[in-house]
Chains A and B, each alone.
Chain A
Amino acid sequence: MSVRLAYASSVLPALSGAAYGAPFQNALLPGGIQADHVHTLWLIMLATCAVVFAAVFAAFLIALWRAPRATEETSPQTSRTTGAERGSSRAVAIGAALSTAGLLGLLVASVVTDRALAGLPLKDGIVIEVNGLQWWWQATYSPGDPARTFETANELHIPVGKPVVLKLQSPDVIHSFWVPNLAPKKDLIPGHTLTLALRADKPGVYRGQCAEFCGYQHAKMAFLVIAEEPAQYEQWEKAQRASAKEPADAAQKRGQQVFMESPCVMCHTIQGTAANAKNGPDLTHLASRTTIAAGTLPNTRGHLAGWISNPQQVKPGTNMPAVTLPADDLQALLTYLESLQ
């Protein structure tokens, strides 16, 4: 909850405003060892390229400075450059040698980084199956273990200091999983399972984003990775594994009834009820999530109402259809959805 609050207070104003992004999605502020490796490589490349740029610019300036000048007797074109330029072959040889050395250096740095990325110890790691879909993220924890598995969407919680193995899949088109603060990006290819290993070393809320154009709402296909202390993570995992809370009062009961009677039930799952469809995000613990519509809107009652009534206004082309409900029913439904902690 504290993470949620911190996120809400620090970031949500930015969601609606202009400066969306800043600290929580930034490859230059690594929050884990994998991103650290990438960041180091980036610094090496930046430094090398800066030196090369400076050297080329300096050579250019020297060439300008030493260029043969025209005098009153000679025109600039017919100066000393008619024959082979003296000393040029030496300069070219030095330039080629330096370039080769520089490129080789970058190659070595790149290979070393790749080895370091592949060398992350995965012992006692947690496995999460991540499906990229148009246009949201489905995450299955403990896949293949029916007693422990649970599903969530657009929000991954991971324990700090523990390796996490993501099994990336896509049932529709190519997507790319990218959390700049935690790991390099990795494509999700239909028909293949690719793995991405990461480890968060600093607790925090990191934003991720689909990084491969995947259709109309590619830009609104974001997610959050919330890295928290292991104890806190265990608590979250336990809560997520539980079935949805039974409706507590009349309004919530009516809300559940509305859910079952309306098109919601055709696509969504709420564990512990008859709703068991897999076409949209699992809503068993919807209220525990920070955002809706894949990081598009903050998860508040008002935004939820707008999203249900007219999702095509928020994300044109989304597979969520507009669900028109009488006002009382919509309010009851919202009350029920807000109770799904």
Chain B
Amino acid sequence: MSAAGKCRERGYARVLVCCAALVTLTACEREARRFDEPAAKSAPAEAVRLSPLQPGGAMPAPQTRNRAEDNAYAVSQGQRLFTAFNCVGCHAHGGGSIGPALMDDKWIYGHEPQNVYASIVQGRPNGMPSFAGKIPEAQVWQIVAYVRSMAGYLGSATAPSRTDSISAAGPEATRDPQTPRHTSTPQP
């Protein structure tokens, strides 16, 4: 092989090593366990709109970034809390029973992180209790992350891959994102 070829090959190797290093770094962040993370300073209640209609044409809603969604540990904590706080009592494991399903494309009160946050904290008519003051903010965000993973909105990098219970729908990490459909009537 010519000297130039060798040189090029070494260049490729360097690029590959750099890519691998970058991938490793992202993977670290994904699993980081932030135990004493201060709660997100957001005002989701104000950011939430329950109607898409606005005078003078709809303005885009302010976005809230949920840090828990970038972190596999936080999402799996959300999954644990989803059972611990008895969300499963009404929503089952996402399929819904006396509460609406969370793994489909129908979102009565919105699918964005701040919408789900507001639904948990404020409660919603016809049965959804308000958990204001009962669940610390950081834990609510973890639950929000998990709830959104059920409809496939989280990437496979952070969504839970396998549960201990039997699930007909398969792991959250393998689900395709649903196209959200806002609907104001409770679904059967």
Which chain A residues border B35 with CB–CB below 8 Å?
A: 312, 316-317
User: CA separation between A313 and B35, bound complex, in Å?
Assistant: 9
* In the complex with contacts A316-B35, A316-B36, A317-B35, A266-B135 CB distance below 8 A: yes
Most buried by B among A216, A265, A316, A322: A322
User: CA separation between A322 and B38, bound complex, in Å?
Assistant: 10
| Closest residue of A by beta carbon distance from B131 | A266
Q: Are B84 and A321 in contact (CB under 8 A)?
A: no
* In the complex with contacts A267-B84, A321-B139, A262-B36 CB distance below 8 A: no
Q: Are B36 and A313 in contact (CB under 8 A)?
A: yes
Q: Are B136 and A263 in contact (CB under 8 A)?
A: yes
* In the complex with contacts A279-B84, A321-B138, A261-B36 CB distance below 8 A: no
The count of A-to-B residue pairs whose CB atoms sit within 8 angstroms is 30
Which chain A residues border B139 with CB–CB below 8 Å?
A: 321
Q: How far is the CB of A159 from chain B (nearest CB, A)?
A: 34
Chain A: interface secondary structure? loop
Quick one: which of B85-121 are within 8 Å of A by CB? 85
Most buried by B among A310, A316, A321, A323: A321
Quick one: which of B66-84 are within 8 Å of A by CB? 80, 84
Q: Are A312 and B134 in contact (CB under 8 A)?
A: no
Which chain A residues border B84 with CB–CB below 8 Å?
A: 266-267, 279
Q: Are B36 and A266 in contact (CB under 8 A)?
A: no
Which chain A residues border B33 with CB–CB below 8 Å?
A: 216, 317
- B133 on the A face (CB < 8 A): yes
Q: How far is the CB of A14 from chain B (nearest CB, A)?
A: 27
| Closest residue of B by beta carbon distance from A280 | B84
Which chain B residues border A267 with CB–CB below 8 Å?
A: 84
User: CA separation between A313 and B36, bound complex, in Å?
Assistant: 8
User: CA separation between A319 and B80, bound complex, in Å?
Assistant: 10
Partner of B36, one of A216, A265, A312, A319: A312
User: CA separation between A216 and B31, bound complex, in Å?
Assistant: 14
| Closest residue of B by beta carbon distance from A216 | B33
Which chain A residues border B36 with CB–CB below 8 Å?
A: 310, 312-313, 316, 322
Which chain B residues border A322 with CB–CB below 8 Å?
A: 36, 136
Interface of B toward A, CB cutoff 8 Å: 33, 35-36, 80, 84-85, 133-136, 138-139
- 7 residue pairs, one from A and one from B, having the closest CB atoms: A312-B36, A312-B35, A321-B136, A316-B35, A279-B84, A266-B134, A317-B35
| 10 chain-A/chain-B pairs, Cβ below 8 angstroms | A263-B135, A266-B85, A266-B135, A267-B84, A313-B36, A316-B36, A319-B80, A321-B136, A321-B139, A322-B36
Given A266-B135, A321-B138, A322-B36, 12 other A-B contacts at CB below 8 A? A262-B133, A263-B133, A263-B135, A263-B136, A265-B134, A266-B84, A266-B85, A267-B84, A312-B35, A316-B35, A316-B36, A317-B35
